Amino acid sequence: MVHLEHVSVRAGAATLVDDVSIDVTAGSWCTIIGPNGAGKTTLVSVMAGLRPVAHGVVRVDDCHLAELSERERARLIAYVPQHPEVPVGMTVEDYVGLGRVAFHGVLRAPSARDRDVVAGVLERLDLVTFRRRDATSLSGGERQRMVLARALVQSTKVVILDEPITGLDVRHQIDILELLKTEVVQCGLTVIATLHDLTLAGTFADRLILLSRGAVAKDGSAYDVIRSRELASSYGMTLRVVNVDGSDVVVPVRGDGAALGDDLA
């Protein structure tokens, strides 16, 4: 579905992404983790076709992203940035409807099909009661659902999200991640996300990719990556993994605590 082959990204003399090769399977959830400055945001922006590469190839469904127009890319990939802009004075329904512009164009009104898609996504994400509200009046959790709805109405096979739960309380974090998991399981959506919370990353993703200094330090199942020595090394600290009711919880240890993977409960 999504294929990166020996991708490198540079900014001046600095290498932001260094020779990364990744294949993301259709209908799966892949989360990219790593410390600040590891290159996570750069990598997902490359996957979304929003940033040029210095070397390598990025393909989605065998289409080279560099050869596609913006409108063509929008029919393949939906991208949710870390801090999406929400225009003042726009209703929730109109904001979500912006995701259909790739289909009807800027100068043409939405078709009946476009309106049906928007209505269906608003219902799935429990946003119908907010559809006439000013988009800027929503709470943090409601706004994130609205932003996700805009991505889903693009009807793409791939959704890429950069830190989709930043600034949300625990309940709303879980709500957003559960919504995404439902789309993966029930609709076959391919999700690629970045997350800072290692416990939530391991809980929801089928696969974790650990970045360190722009390169892949570990790539595998959530279980293997969360319990790997590379994880602690990349973050430069001791981590303990504790199993709670079948789920791995990553706990940072102050000072000279137990090493990663030791004394699992």
What is the model's pLDDT at position 109? 84
pLDDT at residue 261 greater than cutoff 80: no
The residues, ordered by sequence, that sit 6+ positions from 216 with a Cβ below 8 Å of its Cβ are: 20, 21, 22, 209, 210
pLDDT, mean of residues 215-240: 94
pLDDT digits 0-9 by tens, 147-156: 999 999 999 9
> Which residue from 23, 20, 24 is spatially nearest to 34, judged by alpha carbons?
20
146 exposure class (CB count in 10 Å sphere: 0-12, 13-18, 19+) = buried
Q: What is the DSSP string of 21-76?
A: EEEE-TT-EEEEE-STTSSHHHHHHHHTT-S--SEEEEEETTEEGGGS-HHHHHTT
Of 105 and 130, the structure prediction assigns the larger pLDDT to 130
Does the structural domain 1-76+156-236 have CATH classification 3.60.15.10?
Answer: no
Q: What is the mean pLDDT of residues 245-260?
A: 75
The pLDDT mean for the chain works out to 92
- Give me the pLDDT at residue 256, please: 53
The two structure tokens encoding residue 239: 């981590």
Interval 115-138: pLDDT, tens: 999 999 999 999 999 999 999 999
Grouping H, G, I as helix, E, B as strand and the rest as coil, residue 91 is strand
At 99 the pLDDT is 95
- Confidence category of residue 21, pLDDT binned at 50, 70, 90: very high
Q: What is the pLDDT of residue 1?
A: 85
Task: Give the separation between CA 190 and CA 161, rounded to whole angstroms.
Answer: 11
In three-state secondary structure terms, 195 is coil
Which of 124, 69, 144, 135 has its CA nearest to residue 102?
A: 69
List residues bridging with 161 in a β-sheet. Answer: 80, 193
Strand partners, 14: 11
What residue spans in the chain does CATH classification 3.40.50.300 cover?
1-76+156-236
Mean pLDDT over 138-146 rounds to 93
Q: Provide mean pLDDT across the span 172-180.
A: 94
Q: What is the pLDDT of residue 51?
A: 94
Asked if residue 258 has pLDDT above 80, the reply is no
Q: Which residue has the tokens 């009946």?
A: 112
pLDDT over threshold 70, residue 257: no
